[in-house]
Structure 1
Amino acid sequence: MKSTKKIIEIFIFFVIFLIAIFNSYKLSIHENQINRQKQIIDSLKQTIVEFETNSFVSSSKYVLFRNQNFETYKCDVKKVDLKFYYKDTTDRKIKSIDTLKHLVSINNKVLIFATNAGMYNPNNEPQGLYVENKKIIKPLDLNEGKGNFYMKPNGVFYITENNTAGITESSDYLQQNSKNIKYATQSGPLLLINGDMHPKFNEGSKNKHIRSGVGLVNAHQVVFIISNEKVNFFDFALLFKKFGCKNALYLDGGISKMYLPDLNRFEKGGNFGVIIGVTTQKE
C-alpha cells in the first residue's frame, strides 16, 4: 500500500515537472515571438523614419504655441533652390519681395517662399557680414553696440557650396572654411546656442514684438518662423527648440515679412537689405 502511494506521488511529481517544462517552453516561444515582433516593428519604424528623412523636401505650417500664432516654412537645403538676394544684374538693390518675385519670373521660375534675411542699415545695405555666391559683400562685424544686432552672442546663418546649412556665433565664424561658404548673413541675437537659450532672455518678459528667425534642425534642414503677433524672445526661442533646433538666429522684428503662398500668405512689400528666397521652375 505504501509502495503504491509512493509510486503515485512520484508519478504526480513527474507529471507536474513535465507540465512546468512544457509551460516554460511555451513561455520561451512566446517571448521569442514578442521579441521578434518588436524587432520587426522597430525595423519598420526605422524604415519609415529613413523614408520620411529621405523624401522630405519642404513643409509649411500654422503653429499655435503658448497661445500665440506663428507661421513656419521648413525645407531641406539640398533639395530646394534656396538663395540669398541683394542686387539684380544691373547692380540695383532688390529691396522688396514684389521685385524679387518679378525677377525670378523672368528666369522662368516661381517664388514659393521669401523672407527678409539679417538686419540692414537705412541705405538697405546689410548690417554685418553678407556673403553671396562665395563673395564677401560686407565684412563680419564684431564690434560692440546697442540694439538687438549687438546683443552678444549674435550669429551668422550660412549655406555652403555643398548645400549644407549652419548657424554659428559671430566670434566663431572665422573658424569656418570661408572658401566653402556660398551664402551668409549676420544678425542678432542668437536665439539658441548649442541647445541653450540666449542668457539674456527671460520667461514672461514684457518686451514683445513681431519677430522672425531661422533655426537649424540638422545640417540639411532649416526652419523659418515668423510670429503673427507680438512675442518675447524667450517664447520665440522656445518654439525653435520644439522644432528640434539646437541653434537658431533672430532675423528681425516688426518690419519682417514672409511670402508663403502655401499658407495663403502673400506679403509682397518690404524695403529690405537681403532677402532669402526659394524658387521652383515654372511648369
Structure 2
Amino acid sequence: MTFRIDPEKQDIQLYWKNNKGEIMKSIDVLRNNVETQHKKLVFAMNGGMFEPDNSPKGLYIEDFKILKPLDTLQGTGNFYLEPNGVLYLTQNNSACIIETRQYQHNKNIRFATQSGPMLIINRKINPIFQKNSKNLNIRNGVGILENGKLVFAMSKKEISFYHLAEYFKNLGCKEALYLDGYVSRTYLPKKNWIQKDGNFGVMIGVTEPSE
C-alpha cells in the first residue's frame, strides 16, 4: 500500500490525545474525533513507536508544543537501531525527515515524531540492513521525495528492513523513516484499505473538510 501526499496542499497532522486529554489509541477513535471537527479522515497510519502507556517514544511535538523530548540515548529494539530519525512538519506546511543527531529544534516546527531506524539516508539504503535478512515482519514507513511530497507505505506481507528501504529508494525518496512493525495499521478507504483498530500512541492523519 502506497499513499502520496503534498503537505503544502493537504491537511496532514499528528494526533495523540483528544480535546479531553484522552489518548485516542485507535484509528476508529481518531476518525470519530475529526468528524466532530467537521472533517473527513481520508488517510491514517500509526505514527511511530510508543511506550507501554501509549505515550510517544522519543520526540513528539503537537501544535508547536514539545510534549515529549528528543531521545538521544542508546538502547535495544528497532527504535535504537542507528541512525534513528525525526519526521517533522513546519508552520509553512513543509515536511522534513532527518537523522536524530542532525535535528535542531526551532519555533516553526508544528508537528514532529521520532522513530527508527532510518531506512533511506541521503538517497541510499541504510548500510546496517542485510539484503538476505530473515528478520521478516509487516512493516510501514514514510519517505520524502525530491519535490517535498511525502510517501507512506505499508507492506501487505512480511518483509525485511532492506526490502522496505529498497521500495522507498525505488520510489525516488531522498530520506525515509521506519514507523513500526506488526502492530501497524492503515486507513485508506479510497484504495479499499480499511483498518480501523489499533492500540497506538501517535497517529498520522490526513483530513478534508466534510461536505
* TM-score for the superposition, normalised by structure 2: 0.98
Post-superposition offset of 1:200? 0.9
Cα RMSD after superposing both structures: 0.9
Q: Deviations over 1:24-48 (max 9, x none)?
A: xxxxxxxxxxxxxxxxxxxxxxxxx
Residues 163, 220 of structure 1: 8 Å contact kept: no
Q: Which amino acid aligns with 2:153?
A: I
Matched residue of 2:29: which SS?
helix
**Deviation at 1:88?**
0.7
User: 2: CA distance between counterparts of 1:136 and 1:107?
Assistant: 23
Q: 1:78 to 1:271 in 2, by over 3 A?
A: same
1:206 aligns with 2:134: yes
Letter in 1 for 2:97: I
**Residue type matched to 2:174 in 1?**
K
Residue in structure 2 matched with residue 246 of structure 1 by the alignment: 174
Q: Displaced runs of 4+ in structure 1, greater than 6 A?
A: none
Q: Which runs of 5+ in 1 are unaligned?
A: 1-70
Q: Identify unmatched segments of 5+ residues in structure 2.
A: none
Q: 1:142/1:83 Cα in 2 relative to 1: closer, same or farther (>3 Å)? A: same
Distance 1:89 1:236 in 2: 35
C-alpha distance in 1 between matches for 2:3 and 2:89 = 17
Q: Alpha-carbon deviations, 1:173-216, whole Å to 9, x = none? A: 02xx5211111000000001111211210112111100000000
Please tell me the residue identity of whatever aligns with 1:211: R
User: For 1:240 and 1:207, how far apart are their aligned partners in 2?
Assistant: 18
Count the aligned residue pairs.
211
CA contact (8 A) 1:112 1:280 kept: yes
1:168-187, aligned counterparts within 5 Å?
A: 168-174=98-104, 177-187=105-115
What is the CA–CA distance in structure 2 between the aligned matches of 1:158 and 1:218, rounded to whole Å?
16
Aligned to 2:157: 229
Matched, 1:141 2:76: no
Contact 1:166 1:219 in 2 (8 A): no
**Distance across 1 between alignment mates of 2:163 and 2:203:** 25
Q: Find the counterpart in structure 2 of residue 29 from structure 1.
A: none
Q: Which has the higher strand share?
A: 2
Q: Deviations along 1:86-109, whole A, 9 cap, x unmatched?
A: 111111111110101101111111
- Name the SS for the 2:55 alignment partner: coil
1:268 counterpart residue number = 196
Which is helix-richer, 1 or 2?
1
Q: CA deviation at 1:239?
A: 0.5
1:46-195 to structure 2, matched below 5 A, reads 71-174=1-104, 177-195=105-123
Higher relative contact order (CA 8 A, sep 6+): 2
1:197 and 2:125 aligned? yes
Counterpart AA for 1:278? V
Q: CA deviation at 1:219?
A: 5.3
| C-alpha separation in 2, matches of 1:198 and 1:218 | 18
Secondary structure at the residue paired with 2:200? coil
One-letter identity of the residue aligned with 1:209: N
Could you tell me which residue of structure 2 aligns to residue 66 of structure 1?
none
Aligned amino acid, residue 186 of structure 1: Q
Give, in angstroms, the shift of residue 253 of structure 1: 0.3
